[in-house]
């Protein structure tokens, strides 16, 4: 995804801070920047969300973004959790001298670590969706796991899950209905939790 600003005019100088975000957070990050009134101070650039299915490639993709833009900004922060990299992303960020948002994944960013831990403790076999993942459910989950071609694999992937929790960033009836349909498709109990953008917005404000 190319570098973006919430509303900076074409040809305007870049802001002082760059956020390198997972593409799954792009829409929400822009909304948090706008809500915080930091459009002129923060820019974002994103790494493809498709790397969620190939997390071993995330650390070097983020490193490439850091090195591409290091000379253009006073500060660079990363909006990524570990996201299945097994600590490699944090190793790369330590080498590059760049900090990231706290938390292991976007579910914790949105829900808050304490709330997420409580959800996980209550039912370890929980599959989580965010607004982005609801929108991209067919692409990333059904097609990404090959379930459109091999539906017989569904028990292999989801047999140990008991419920689907939709952590919603917006109050959108269509997304809520789509999330419930996704739970039914996977054969999981459905639960809805509204998170908003408070955790992400707090990080954006601290970066700006």
The answer to whether residues 68 and 36 touch, using CB atoms and an 8 Å cutoff, is no
pLDDT in tens, the chain (208 residues): 444 443 333 333 456 999 999 999 999 999 999 988 999 999 999 999 889 888 999 999 999 999 999 999 999 999 999 988 999 999 999 999 999 998 899 999 899 999 999 999 999 999 999 999 999 999 999 999 999 999 999 999 999 999 999 999 999 999 999 999 999 999 999 999 999 998 888 899 988 7
Identify the pLDDT of residue 116.
94
Sign of CA dihedral 42, 103, 160, 122: negative
Identify the pLDDT of residue 132.
95
Q: List 163's β-bridge partners, or say none.
A: 126, 189
Identify the pLDDT of residue 15.
62
Helix (H, G, I), strand (E, B) or coil at 150: coil
- Residue ranges and CATH numbers for the domains of the chain are 17-104+197-207 (3.40.50), 107-194 (no CATH)
- Considering the entire predicted model, what is its pTM? 0.83
Identify the pLDDT of residue 56.
94
Q: What b/e readout covers 30-59, taking b as 16+ CB neighbours within 10 angstroms?
A: bbbbeebebbbbbbbbbbebebbeeeeebb
Rounded-to-integer distance, Cα 132 and Cα 172, Å: 12
């Amino acid at each position: 995804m190319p570098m973006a600003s919430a509303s900076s005019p074409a040809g305007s100088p870049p802001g002082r801070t760059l956020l390198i975000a997972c593409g799954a957070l792009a829409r929400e990050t822009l909304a948090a920047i706008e809500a915080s009134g930091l459009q002129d101070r923060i820019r974002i650039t994103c790494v493809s969300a498709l790397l969620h299915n190939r997390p071993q490639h995330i650390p070097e993709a983020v490193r490439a973004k850091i090195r591409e833009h290091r000379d253009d900004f006073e500060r660079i922060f990363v909006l990524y959790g570990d996201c299945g990299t097994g600590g490699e992303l944090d190793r790369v960020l330590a080498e590059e001298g760049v900090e990231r948002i706290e938390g292991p994944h976007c579910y914790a960013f949105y829900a808050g670590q304490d709330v997420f831990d409580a959800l996980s403790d209550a039912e370890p076999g929980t599959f989580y969706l965010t607004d982005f993942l609801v929108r991209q459910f067919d692409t990333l989950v059904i097609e990404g796991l090959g379930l459109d071609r091999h539906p017989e694999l569904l028990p292999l992937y989801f047999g140990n899950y008991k419920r689907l929790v939709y952590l919603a960033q917006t109050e959108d009836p269509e997304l809520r209905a789509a999330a419930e349909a996704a739970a039914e498709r996977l054969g999981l109990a459905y639960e809805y939790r509204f998170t908003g953008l408070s955790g992400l917005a707090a990080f954006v404000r601290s970066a700006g």
